Structure formats: structure tokens, C-alpha cells
Amino acid sequence: MELADVQPGEMVYDLGSGDGRAMVVAAREFGARAVGVEIEPVHCAVAWLRALFSGVIARVSIRCADLRQVDLADADVVFLYLAPVLVDQIRPQLQSTLRPGARVVSLSFPFEGWQPAGIDIGHLIFLYRMPPQRGSIETYMRSTLT
Ligand SMILES: C[S@@+](CC[C@H](N)C(=O)[O-])C[C@H]1O[C@@H](n2cnc3c(N)ncnc32)[C@H](O)[C@@H]1O
């Protein structure tokens, strides 16, 4: 959240939200609204209870769904801590649905071919910023290098 400079009122998605701890931090400590997408029903229930007992349920929602099916058009920040195969699968969805300037934060696994806008090397967290126009982030990267 610090690396992405999450601001109060911003919409943070946690794709593969697990027990919801990242969403609770986003809502409680950064004043964000948070949406968790989680495929395991038990994790969804635990995350909902965590948000409830942390006093942030009004700003947190949990979608018990496959993260590959979710519309991210209103996201300001997308947080993910996923296996590399899923990071790869989600890439076209991020490119086609995220609005210009949206930030993507990936824990542990970088996006191959994307130039990070920031790295927390100690915690292995990679920050990316979507290009000012919709389209391929790779094309944008190339254009900024020439
Ligand atoms: C490493 S955990 C990360 C949990 C949380 N984001 C965190 O940082 O504490 C990955 C989570 O992704 C979920 N997951 C895996 N594949 C998924 C999918 N296709 N759709 C939604 N969630 C998925 C898993 O059930 C697991 O809870």
C-alpha cells in the first residue's frame, strides 16, 4: 500500500484476497475502499469476518469468484500475490480493463517485460503504472525508451 501510495477513497482490488488481511490494511490504515476477489469460499467467509471485526466492512467487499472473470474498470490499485502462472494469465485482463494511470502491485513475482515504476527489494514487491492511453503496456514501454 505504501509503495502504491494508496490514497483515501481510492479503489483497491486484491486479486486472490485469501483471508482478507491486505484489504483490511487498505481500508483501515489508508482509508481506501477495497474489493477482494477470492475463489475459495472458506477464505471468502474468513475475509468477510475479518473485515467485520476490524470495523471496515462498510468499505470492504468480497467477491467469491475467479479473478480471471472480474471487471477491473473502476480499480485505482490492483494488488496481487499469486503464482507466476496466474500472474501471466491476468496480464491481458489488466492491460485491457485498467484505466490509464492505475497501479498494479505484485508481491514476489514481477510481470515479465513490464518496467516497474518502483520496487521494494527488501519485500520483493513490484509496482507498475498503466500507460496514459489504453493499450499494450509493452508498446508504451518501447515508446518511452526511443
Ligand atoms: C498467496 S494467497 C494471497 C492472499 C492475500 N492476497 C495476501 O496477500 O495475504 C493467493 C490466493 O489466491 C487465491 N486464488 C488462486 N487462484 C484464484 C483464482 N483463479 N481466482 C480467485 N482467487 C484465486 C487462493 O485461494 C489464495 O487465497
Q: Residue by residue, what is the 3-state secondary structure of 85-99?
A: HHHHHHHHHHHHHCC
Ligand 1: does its nearest atom lie under 6 Å from the Cβ of 24? no
Please determine, for residue 108, whether its predicted confidence score (pLDDT) is greater than 80.
Answer: yes
Instruction: Please give the distance, rounded to the nearest whole angstrom, from the Cα atom of residue 65 to the centre of ligand 1.
Output: 11
Q: For atom 24 of ligand 1, which residue has the closest CA?
A: 16
**Which amino acid makes up residue 114?**
W
How is the beta sheet containing 118-120 ordered, strand by strand? 60-64, 33-38, 11-15, 77-80, 103-107, 125-129, 118-120
Nearest C-alpha to atom 23 of ligand 1 is from which residue? Answer: 16
Interval between CA 82 and ligand 1 midpoint (Å): 6
The count of other CB atoms within 10 Å of the CB of residue 103 is 22
Q: Which of 3, 12, 17, 87 best tests ligand 1's pocket when mutated (most atoms within 8 Å of CB)?
A: 17
Which ligand 1 atom lies nearest to the CA of residue 18? 27
Residue 134 has pLDDT above 70, yes or no: no
pTM of the model: 0.93
Cβ–ligand 1 distance for 1 under 6 Å, the answer no
Q: Residue 53 belongs to what H/E stretch?
A: helix 41-53
pLDDT of res. 31: 98
Where do the H-state alpha helices sit in 54-125? 84-97
Instruction: Decide whether any atom of ligand 1 lies within 6 Å of the 46 Cβ.
Output: no
- 25: cell is 490494511
The pLDDT assigned to 90 comes to 95
Full set of structural domains in the chain with CATH: 11-145 (3.40.50.150)
Answer left, alpha or beta for residue 42, where phi above 0 means left and psi between -120 and 50 means alpha.
Answer: alpha
What's the CA gap between 140 and 114, in Å, rounded?
10
Output the pLDDT for position 123: 95
At residue 146, does pLDDT exceed 60? Answer: no
Over residues 31-56, mean pLDDT:
98
pLDDT of residue 133: 73
Q: Ligand 1: distance of its center to the CA of 100 in Å? A: 25
Statement: residue 144 has pLDDT above 80: no
Angstrom distances, CA of residue 110 to CA of 40, 53, 57, 68, 73: 24, 33, 31, 18, 22
